[in-house]
Amino acid sequence: MRSDWTIFAELCPAGPPWTVPWSRIEDTFDWIRRLRDVPQDAVHHGEGDVATHTRMAAEALAGQAGWRELPPADRVRLFAAVLLHDVAKPDCTRTDPDGRITAHGHSRRGDLAVRRILWDLDAPRTWREHVAALVRHHQVPFWALERPDLEQIVLRVSLLARNRDLAMLADADITGRICGDRDEVLENIGLFREYCADLGVLDRPWPFASDHARFQYFRTPGRDPRYAAYDDTRLTMTVLSGLPGAGKDTWAAAHAGDRPIISLDAIRARLGVRPTDGQRAVAAAAHEEARGHLRARRDFIWNATNISRQHRDLCIGLGAAYHARVEIVALEVPRDVVRRQNADRPAPVPGAVVDRLIGKWESPDLTEAHLVTVV
């Protein structure tokens, strides 16, 4: 596979005649070729395998008048999203005892796969995260008005991507199928557009009153996004996030000043725990250190990989309980730099562990913290 994200611009249909160069796309991307032999539920995907559906969805997108009217860069980004929207189906497709084919979880797994693929292609982070957010939520407009968490989803998408793009992707997805409920789903997508337009987030982000209002909204189910939450923070907790070898220790040493640093590597060394061992004791010791700083209302840095949103939330939730301002510093470097710098560490993390972390990588975003800084 070519190692440059600009290949999407070369493959993106242009007019006239807006033709999708499918043979070139298959020749270029190994993850497209993997879709050829993945079956689908015939009720919702009478067109057959996932590759056939992806081609039909790409052609449906290229046929949308609204997509053709977008600026070229926006067209390319959305075309990349339609090519990638089912990229995780090979890993999620199962046949149940009744013979039904399912692909549960392919949207979330797709978010992870998109990040890895576009990182390897050296795509700009904002561009990459826009595509990943669309893939993660690409089925939401199908049944949007049935979801109790719809408001939080569309506000999140408004910060990371565009709900207009999400609706166009969903339209291409359903149009690129042979299924009996297409008209019903298209009607739902239209209602999704209206919902986003009424909120004012179809083409722009939600204007939170402050970063604290945003932070509290995404941590508080049912909260009104218009509520200007009183800022009762008492200290700043800086949470680092990055793969082994991304430069977290270097950043902490250069920026900590007189702030104490909770280092999971240091705790592992003190406890004699290897990266391949269970990490429960290490996490418990880190949280106990953090509580000490939080109770003292002392600014500090939490230096750990914190690759997944779930792991970050264990730190962030603790900080929020003590009224900490949460700032995330996300450190990113190319894959070859990760491997080289990890190998140069006094105690390198085994390659298999690094690969497993890459597979779980969820890049931090503004729905998690008061501030996210990318290094």
Pairwise CA distance, residues 5 & 194, whole Å: 33
Tokens of 165: 């793009």
Q: Domain check: are 32 and 166 in the same one? A: yes
Per-residue pLDDT, 366: 97
Over residues 255-266, mean pLDDT: 94
CATH number for the domain harbouring residue 354: 3.40.50.300
Output the pLDDT for position 2. 52
Contact 337, 263 (CB under 8 A): no
CB 369 within 8 A of CB 215: yes
pTM, entire model? 0.95
Give mean pLDDT, residues 133-145.
95
Residue 229 lies in a domain: no
Asked if 143 and 270 sit in the same domain, the reply is no
Strands 101-102, 94-95: pairing is antiparallel
- Residues 241, 191 share a domain: no
In a domain, 14, yes or no: yes
**DSSP assignment of 362-374:** ----TTTSSEEEE
Q: Tell me if 258 is assigned to some domain.
A: yes
In this model, does residue 346 exceed pLDDT 80? yes
pLDDT (tens digit per residue) in 3-55: 699 999 999 999 899 999 999 999 999 999 999 999 998 888 999 999 999 99
Q: Does 183 share its domain with 288? A: no
Is the pLDDT at 180 greater than 90, yes or no? no
> Which domain, by its residues, includes 347?
235-374
Give whole-number Cα distances, 165 to 113, 275, 363, in Å. Answer: 19, 41, 20
User: Based on the domain organization, do 63 and 150 belong to the same domain?
Assistant: yes
Domain-terminating residue out of 155, 183, 199: 199
For residue 329, the tally of other CB atoms under 10 A from its CB is 24
In a domain, 283, yes or no: yes
93 and 146 both lie in a single domain: yes
Are 173 and 247 within one domain?
no
The count of other CB atoms within 10 Å of the CB of residue 269 is 12
Whether 37 maps to a domain, the answer reads yes
Checking phi first, is residue 323 left (phi over 0); if not, alpha (psi -120 to 50) or beta? left
Question: Comparing C-alpha atoms, which of 80, 147, 141 is closest to residue 114?
Answer: 80
What's the confidence (pLDDT) of residue 347?
Answer: 81
Closest C-alpha among 340, 335, 330, 332 to residue 355: 335
Q: Is residue 207 part of a domain?
A: no
Domain shared by 252 and 193, yes or no = no
In angstroms, rounded to a whole number, what is the distance separating the alpha carbons of residues 282 and 25? 46
148: which residues sit within 8 A by CB, 6+ positions away? Answer: none
Say whether both 269 and 177 belong to one domain.
no
Rounded Cα gap, residues 201 and 154, in angstroms: 7
Confidence (pLDDT) at 268: 87
Determine, yes or no, domain membership for 322: yes
d(Cα 299, Cα 325) in Å, to the nearest integer? 9
**Residue-averaged pLDDT of the chain:** 95
Alpha helices (runs of H) in 12-62, residue ranges in sequence order: 22-28, 30-33, 50-62
State the alpha helices, DSSP H only, in the chain.
7-11, 22-28, 30-33, 50-62, 65-68, 72-84, 89-92, 106-120, 125-136, 150-160, 163-175, 182-199, 211-219, 248-255, 264-271, 280-295, 309-321, 335-343, 351-359
Q: In the structure, what pLDDT confidence band is assigned to residue 279 with cuts at 50, 70 and 90?
A: confident
pLDDT-derived band of residue 1, with 50, 70 and 90 as boundaries? very low
- Last residue of some domain: 199, 216, 244? 199
The structural domain count of the chain equals 2
194-212 pLDDT, tens digit each: 999 999 999 999 999 999 9
Chosen domain end from 199, 225, 258: 199
Pair (55, 103) in one structural domain? yes
Q: How many CB atoms neighbour CB 161 within 10 A?
A: 25
Least confident of 2-16, 121-135, 157-171, 211-225: 2-16
Residue 206 placed within a domain: no
